[in-house]
Chain A
């Protein structure tokens, strides 16, 4: 029976290729055909641009591990981004803007969690409904217009450097570190695995799946709030369609990263690699001057390619 004690590291290695292969192939491809892709400035740019997606895809991984989904993330991010713009414009305080965004985001996350865990509405439907609400609210608070003239303190976050590294990259790395610690080293993270893997096991252990599930969705909303600050900083304005379709990229990154949509089989590093694959793809297509409509379609192709690679290997 001792021959079974070898599995864990090999398993990780076996899972690694799918998304890693895709990422390496994409980098090689665009290195060859896209002028300037491999320059330090551009690679740094890819990382900076991937930060917002990282902040959504990390909590999305947790949500998907619970056999759920959050379709509202892009729309909530749009709303929180407008909150940052409006509040900082009114108070000239970046910090108050961030607080407002985090508050609004968390409220939406709690609402999603409540609808899913207590009202027992299927996650797809529940978060589709809150997507609509967040989108509508964005149009109302912005009057359908961009919010411009926001304080420099907001914009500076996106362009600032710390120890020579762009602040957004540091924020992305920090987010990953926090989520890694949360999922793999805390009791809460252990229970997230159980939420998707065997909810009965939680009940046997005397834990409340309901409260845990609400927390998972609330974290998603909170992160959409933090990412909203970066979005406003990046665009130097609040825009009522800023986060349009970001939930699509986030779900795609999680799927590409090898997180299974059932049984609570999640892989956070895979999600990070998935985010980078999406980022490289969009950046590379941009460099060879393909329109953004092609980018969206290509992310779809990326998802299928990664699934296909994973499927081929698991059958072999």
Chain B
């Protein structure tokens, strides 16, 4: 069955959708976030929304709740065309979005949170009818089977219960369409079961649910329909019975990138530079085992939130580790970022503007700042020597700047990234950890950054690269580790390095 016919039979088989999006497009400068997406929501159905990071799920959700206005396309409510220009419009239509970050006030109780802005009036002007607000809240909570006292302060609740309160709040506003963004991301299995039970009850009452998930098991456990998005386009809409997890993965990957990156793979990897053994940290990662050798670029992939950045920070000493050890150049290393930096580990963070650069200072200053101790062991600063070092790096890394005294904030993203790399190069780093090195950088500059990383490792350094762009990992890395929920879910050698394998390992497919 082709994608078109399967979707067509689905829509013909059921009555008029509760809400229907037709041909929705939304463009941001340089990115087409949504491209002609159609999407129908039926009462009493759980509609799963699947896609990789950046596939357009969040944008679609924001169009639904009135946070974004579509550039093209139309929205129909029970067959009539409507516009959702604000969150108030969405509320009137009975659409409620439960974001991952809750809209609850921590030090109010459950009832006050549920009826915020809609409190029942008490006898005196401005007062609240306390008895009625509690009774109303209890009524809604009982209706969704959540057994809790509505006068409990929200701050004392766990994440799962806060989520229940959010749902209760939405239901109390007569929501008929609930949009949930990865609702089980922060829940234990038992809590997730409770949530699924609740979803079952809501379905029975005719509530429509749009459910964004990264977990394959959930898709098949509770989904009635599946829409797969990729690069802002709807790839397919199917029923779970008509598809296998493998087919879904294949639909999600396969992004078109008309670019190959230069890479000179080493014949024989060099000696061990970094060895991570059984590493666990309080930031949510556990039992991480990773090795990086000289001359290698090793990928670290997985979904956003799978613990990639946390591993990088733990290796660099930015977060304390609770178990395991990190061996760098044959000697254990544990401690503070300044120790790691002195030993030759460089962390090039994702948010280079806030963590990697002093934006108001010059290119030259930024280049030498990490090497000050090495360049000037006596503690006396010599501007001419600093200038020489900076000029050397600017030439070596081909940083496009008129002069070393140019303010670094005025450079392009790609050149800023080069300055960060140069800074660590000057300090004598031998292991470079890149966290999303190409985020916010245009295609041409990406290729230059990868050429630079390739030169670094060819000259004897080693690199660990975190990226959400699987295609980049596949093209650039010697091999890769895939993370899932704080653990290394698998290792992919050069020959196994495909987008499909990365996505399969990164998702729940048990």
Please report A residues at the B interface, Cβ cutoff 8 Å: 1-2, 4-5, 7-8, 11, 181, 185-188, 190-191, 193-194, 197-198, 200-202, 204-207, 263-266
Top 6 A-B pairs, shortest CB-CB distance: A205-B117, A5-B149, A197-B105, A194-B105, A7-B156, A186-B126
Name, among A1, A185, A188, A193, the residue most crowded by chain B CB atoms within 10 Å (CB to CB). Answer: A1
Q: Which residue of B has the minimal Cβ distance to A260?
A: B107
Q: Residues of A contacting B401 with CB < 8 Å?
A: none
Main secondary structure of the interface of A (DSSP, over half): helix
**Complex contacts, B156 vs chain A, CB 8 Å:** 4, 7-8, 11
A202 to B117, CA, bound (A): 7
Interface size for B (C-beta < 8 A) is 34
Are A204 and B103 in contact (CB-based, < 8 A)? yes
Cross-interface CB contact of A4 among B116, B127, B152, cutoff 8 Å: B152
B149–A207 CB distance below 8 A? no
Q: B104-119: which residues lie under 8 A (CB-CB) from chain A?
A: 104-109, 112-113, 116-119
Report whether A187 and B87 are in contact in the complex, using a CB–CB cutoff of 8 Å.
no
B148 at the interface (CB under 8 A from A): yes
Taking the nearest CB of chain A, how far is it from the CB of B157, in angstroms? Answer: 7
C-alpha gap A202/B118 in the complex (Å): 11
| Cβ-defined contact, B153 with A4, below 8 A | no
Give the docked Cα–Cα distance between A4 and B157 (Å).
Answer: 8
Seen from chain B, the residues whose Cβ lies within 8 Å of a Cβ on chain A are 87-88, 102-109, 112-113, 116-119, 122, 126-128, 130, 146-149, 151-153, 155-158, 161, 194
Chain B residues with Cβ under 8 A from A207's Cβ?
116-117
A5 touches B152 (CB 8 A): yes
Cβ-closest chain A residue relative to B106 = A197
Q: Are the C-beta atoms of A185 and B106 separated by less than 8 Å?
A: no
Further 5 A-B residue pairs, CB within 8 A, beyond A185-B127, A263-B107? A185-B130, A191-B116, A194-B105, A202-B117, A264-B105
- CB of B119 within 8 A of CB of A8, answer no
B107 adjacent to A4 (CB under 8 Å): no
Whether the Cβ atoms of A197 and B108 lie closer than 8 Å is yes
Q: How far is the CB of B84 from chain A (nearest CB, A)?
A: 15
Minimal beta-carbon separation of A222 from chain B (angstroms): 16
Task: Assess the B126–A8 pair: CB atoms within 8 A.
Answer: no
13 A-B residue pairs with Cβ-Cβ distance under 8 Å, sorted by A, are: A2-B148, A5-B152, A186-B128, A187-B127, A190-B116, A190-B119, A193-B108, A197-B107, A201-B104, A201-B113, A264-B105, A264-B106, A265-B155
- B105: which of A4, A5, A186, A201 is its contact (CB, 8 Å)? A201
Q: Which residues of chain A are within 8 angstroms of B155 by Cβ–Cβ distance?
A: 263, 265
Q: Which chain A residue has the least Cβ–Cβ distance from B157?
A: A4
Is A185's CB under 8 angstroms from B118's CB? Answer: no
CB nearest neighbor in B for A203:
B87
Q: Is the CB of A193 within 8 A of B107?
A: yes
Task: Say how far B463's CB is from chain A's closest CB, in angstroms.
Answer: 40
Residues A8 and B151 in contact, CB atoms below 8 Å apart: yes
Partner of B116, one of A11, A188, A205: A205
Complex: A264 Cα to B118 Cα, angstroms: 20
B107 touches A201 (CB 8 A): no
